[in-house]
């Protein structure tokens, strides 16, 4: 009887211990967002999200897949560009932006600004789908085959993305399936995959700036946009009218297709 009771106690203790370990693993990437975090904390949170996605993507497998994390490069105008993750596999080149947000996200694919609700506060942030589209536009100067690119924005566990209207957005739990879904159309041969990986790695290795300088460049670009200067080519942003109403477009269109929404 005593042995049976002792065995029962041991089983309960082991079960509790395993439950704690599983809970820690599930919540490893979660964070407390009871108040708006500092810039340093936001950076740390973002890096945790990027590391989590990096682990999902895995490592290079010759002829199967190639992964580049934190691709920082300069475009033909000298503007810096930072991409969280690039995955090259038989289904194409996946440009992946990671957002490690908590709270509810509201956004439409063609809206320049999205909303982030955190408790009783509301913040605006630049549409990450458009951000990724800009990354792809810049990369097509080096890989002149836009049809092979895929635009993916992945939000981590703490984000409620039920209010987002875009086929380019997914939760982290669906990322692996999207990237490896056999229903995807095969676009690249092993030779092409290796070739494009080599091109992108050359871009990364030849970049003359670091991440801090890139952040300063982003601030400079935001200043230019506010003053109706194109952040891509330096041209003037002029008022235009399109199918969806008025907007600002670069005077150097169609060479430069940057646009600014009118609020």
Statement: residue 52 has pLDDT above 70: yes
pLDDT (tens digit per residue) in 122-136: 999 999 999 999 899
Going through 103-148 in order, the beta strands assigned E by DSSP cover: 103-108, 113-118, 121-126
Among 68-82, 169-183, 210-224, where is mean pLDDT lowest? 210-224
DSSP 78: S
The beta-strand segments (E) located in 50-112 are 65-74, 80-89, 92-99, 103-108
Tell me the pairing of strands 169-171 and 149-155.
parallel
For the domain covering 33-209, report its CATH number.
Answer: 3.40.1350
Break the chain into its structural domains and give their ranges.
33-209
> For tokens 């079960």, what's the residue?
15
The pLDDT of residue 262 is above 80:
no
State yes or no: pLDDT of 259 exceeds 80. Answer: yes
What pLDDT is stored for residue 22 in this prediction? 45
pLDDT band at 65 (very low <50, low <70, confident <90, very high): very high
Q: How far is CA 244 from the centre of its chain?
A: 27
**What integer best gives the mean pLDDT of the chain?**
84
Q: How confident is the model at residue 45 (pLDDT cuts 50, 70, 90)?
A: confident
Rounded-to-integer distance, Cα 66 and Cα 89, Å = 7
The pLDDT value recorded for residue 25 is 47
Pairing of strands 237-242, 121-126: unpaired
Predicted local confidence at residue 11, as pLDDT: 56
Instruction: Give the mean model confidence (pLDDT) for residues 164-186.
Output: 93
Residue 206 phi/psi, 5° resolution?
Answer: -90, 0
**Mean pLDDT over residues 56-74, rounded?**
95
Beta pairing, strands 103-108 & 92-99: unpaired
Grade residue 254 by pLDDT with cuts at 50, 70 and 90. confident
Name the pTM for this structure: 0.72
User: Where are the alpha helices (H) located in the chain, listed in sequence order?
Assistant: 2-27, 39-57, 128-139, 172-180, 190-205, 211-226
């Amino acid at each position: 009887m005593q042995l049976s009771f002792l065995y029962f106690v041991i089983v309960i203790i082991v079960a509790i211990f395993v439950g704690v370990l599983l809970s820690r693993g599930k919540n490893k990437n979660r964070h407390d967002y009871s108040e708006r975090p500092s810039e340093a904390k936001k950076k740390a949170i973002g890096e945790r999200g990027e590391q989590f996605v990096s682990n999902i993507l895995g490592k290079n497998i010759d002829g199967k897949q190639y992964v580049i994390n934190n691709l920082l490069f300069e475009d033909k105008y000298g503007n810096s560009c930072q991409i969280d993750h690039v995955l090259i596999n038989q289904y194409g080149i996946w440009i992946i932006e990671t957002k490690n947000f908590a709270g509810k996200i509201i956004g439409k694919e063609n809206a320049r600004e999205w909303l982030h609700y955190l408790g009783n506060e509301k913040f605006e942030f630049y549409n990450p789908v458009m951000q990724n589209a800009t990354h792809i536009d810049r990369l097509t100067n080096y890989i002149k085959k836009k049809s092979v690119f895929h635009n993916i924005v992945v939000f981590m566990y703490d984000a409620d993305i039920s209010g987002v209207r875009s086929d380019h957005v997914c939760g982290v739990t669906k990322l692996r399936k999207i990237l490896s879904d056999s229903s995807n159309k095969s676009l690249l041969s092993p030779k092409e995959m290796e070739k494009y990986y080599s091109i992108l790695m050359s871009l990364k290795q030849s970049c003359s700036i670091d991440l801090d300088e890139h952040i300063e460049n982003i601030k400079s670009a935001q200043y230019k946009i506010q003053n109706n200067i194109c952040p891509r080519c330096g041209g003037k942003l002029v008022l235009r009218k399109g199918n969806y109403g008025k907007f600002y477009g670069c005077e150097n269109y169609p060479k430069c297709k940057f646009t600014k929404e009118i609020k």
